[in-house]
């Protein structure tokens, strides 16, 4: 199917949704209305670009006709200049439309739950987990995302054996999804007196937040336990049993939340984390059914996949999936990671363009 035929179908669907959204009977069905509104919003950039393309194409055809048929030499010359200018715009517009027509990740607009865990390297890995948490927090602040802690297991030196937090904001998953995997650090540890370079690892998991309608949890499948909060001090720590641990019996998944003072609030956040983990399992099962040629080549998001190395002695950060190294080391660790994220998105788009038939 030619891309213009595909675009004509998309425009027909767009107009169909536009008409449905104006129907009072559709507006009364809140769930369906929200679904159609989201689809309409996602199709709008495609339609706007398509209408720009058709306008340029129409003007180009008119200029060509005038260039060939006008008896006025000066008018033919003007038409010719306009024709070549408009003709040169068409391939770029088609390229932009091809990208817009790529299947969209349904999770891109969602909030995310990020889990950072210290891997190989003991205390040094825990300290670097804290560095990554700071990096993502500072980036989120600059991108106007909201960060809220869900659970943390802190070491005496200020590192994190494990830290779980939510990042809220439109498009959060689209910006963070390529951060899943193993992050490797090479540096002289703060705990090392000999000055030797050590290699440690930290795993990062980025999970799209699941909504209640996407994952239903049977209360009978959950074991709820309350316990005292744990952490490196603080007035509230260890005084009340506000922390919550949920065990999902069918899968064996265990989640904990201790950041809120209220046990009820911790329970709600723990349920949110559990839904998200169950949604991840569901998504992985769906992805396994997709042909490997249609999967992103940037990375599977597997937590065991080494994706990036942070080399302190050489002030170099290298992403192994796309072979990109950056040297703005201090700025990067302070949240200036937009360039890396954009490069990963561009590489992913390029790979999908190779495997998708529009």
Average pLDDT along the chain, 358 residues, taken 10 residues at a time:
82 94 89 88 92 95 92 91 95 90 85 93 92 97 94 90 93 94 90 79 91 75 76 45 84 84 82 85 66 44 76 95 95 96 92 71
Give dist(CA 53, CA 60) in Å, integer. 10
CA distances from 47 to 12, 91, 104, 199, 244 (A): 10, 17, 15, 50, 48
User: What is the three-state SS of 11-60?
Assistant: HHHHHHHHHHHCCHHHHCCHHHHHHHHHHHHHHHHHHHHHHHHHHHHHHH
Query: What are the boundaries of each domain within the chain?
Result: 3-100, 112-213+299-354, 219-286
Sign of the CA dihedral running 138, 141, 145, 149:
positive
Q: Residues 305, 119: contact at Cβ < 8 Å?
A: no
Q: What is the pLDDT of residues 88-136, one digit of tens each?
A: 999 999 988 988 888 888 889 899 999 999 998 889 999 999 999 999 9
- Give the per-residue pLDDT at 265: 81
- Give the per-residue pLDDT at 178: 95
Q: Residues 103, 10: contact at Cβ < 8 Å?
A: no
- Give the per-residue pLDDT at 34: 86
Decide: residue 215, CB within 10 A, 0-12 exposed, 13-18 middle, 19+ buried.
middle
Q: What is the CA radius of gyration of the chain?
A: 26
Give dist(CA 94, CA 92) in Å, integer. 5
Give dist(CA 36, CA 57) in Å, integer. 30
Residue 224 structure tokens: 């709820």
Note the CATH number of domain 3-100: 1.20.58
For the whole prediction, is pTM greater than 0.75? no
- Give the per-residue pLDDT at 291: 44
Q: What is the DSSP pairing of strand 324-326 with strand 306-311?
A: unpaired
The region that residue 349 occupies, defined by phi over 0 for left and psi between -120 and 50 for alpha, beta otherwise, is alpha
Q: Which CATH number fits domain 219-286: 3.30.2010.10, 3.30.43.10, 3.30.160.20, 3.30.930.10?
A: 3.30.160.20
Q: What is the side-by-side strand order in the sheet with 253-257?
A: 222-227, 243-248, 253-257
DSSP symbols for 110-149: S-EEEEEEE-TTTHHHHHHHHHHHHHHHHHHHHTT-EEEE
- Give the per-residue pLDDT at 163: 94
- Give the per-residue pLDDT at 130: 96
Q: Which CATH number fits domain 112-213+299-354: 3.90.1170.50, 3.30.70.1660, 2.60.40.10, 3.50.50.60?
A: 3.30.70.1660
- Give the per-residue pLDDT at 357: 52
- 325 in helix, strand or coil? strand
Which of 229, 210, 228 has the alpha carbon at shortest distance from 274? 210
- Give the per-residue pLDDT at 304: 64
- Give the per-residue pLDDT at 217: 82
Residue 307 structure tokens: 């994706």
Contacts of 16 (CB under 8 A, 6+ apart): none
- Give the per-residue pLDDT at 283: 75
């Amino acid at each position: 199917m030619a891309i213009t035929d595909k675009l004509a179908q998309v425009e027909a669907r767009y107009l169909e949704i536009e008409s449905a959204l104006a129907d009072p009977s559709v507006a009364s069905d809140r769930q369906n209305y929200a679904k159609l509104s989201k689809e309409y919003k996602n199709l709008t950039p495609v339609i706007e670009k398509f209408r720009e393309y058709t306008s340029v194409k129409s003007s180009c055809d008119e200029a060509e006709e005038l260039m060939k048929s006008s008896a006025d030499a000066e008018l033919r010359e003007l038409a010719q200049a306009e024709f070549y200018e408009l003709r040169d715009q068409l391939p770029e517009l088609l390229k932009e439309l091809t990208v817009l027509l790529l299947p969209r990740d349904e999770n891109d607009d969602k909030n995310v739950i990020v889990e950072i865990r210290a891997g190989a390297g003991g205390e040094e890995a825990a300290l670097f987990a804290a560095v990554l948490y700071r990096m993502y927090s500072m980036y989120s602040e600059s991108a106007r995302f909201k960060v809220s802690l869900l659970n943390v297991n802190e070491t005496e030196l200020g590192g994190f054996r494990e830290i779980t937090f939510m990042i809220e904001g439109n498009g959060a998953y689209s910006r963070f999804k390529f951060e899943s995997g193993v992050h490797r650090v090479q540096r002289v540890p703060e705990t090392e007196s000999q000055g030797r370079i050590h290699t440690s690892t930290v795993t990062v998991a980025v999970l799209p937040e699941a909504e209640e309608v996407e994952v239903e949890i049977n209360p009978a499948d959950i074991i709820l336990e309350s316990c005292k909060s744990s952490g490196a001090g603080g007035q509230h720590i260890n005084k009340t049993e506000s922390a919550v641990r949920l065990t999902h019996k069918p899968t064996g998944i265990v989640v904990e939340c201790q950041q809120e003072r209220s046990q009820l609030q911790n329970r709600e956040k723990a349920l949110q984390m559990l839904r998200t983990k169950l949604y991840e399992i569901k998504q992985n099962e769906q992805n396994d059914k997709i042909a490997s040629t249609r999967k992103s080549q940037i990375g599977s998001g597997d937590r065991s996949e080494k994706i990036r190395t942070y080399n302190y002695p050489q002030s170099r950060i290298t992403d192994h999936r796309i072979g990109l190294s950056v040297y703005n080391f201090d700025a990067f660790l302070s949240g200036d990671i937009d360039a890396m994220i954009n490069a990963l998105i561009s590489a992913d788009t390029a790979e999908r363009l190779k495997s998708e038939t529009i």
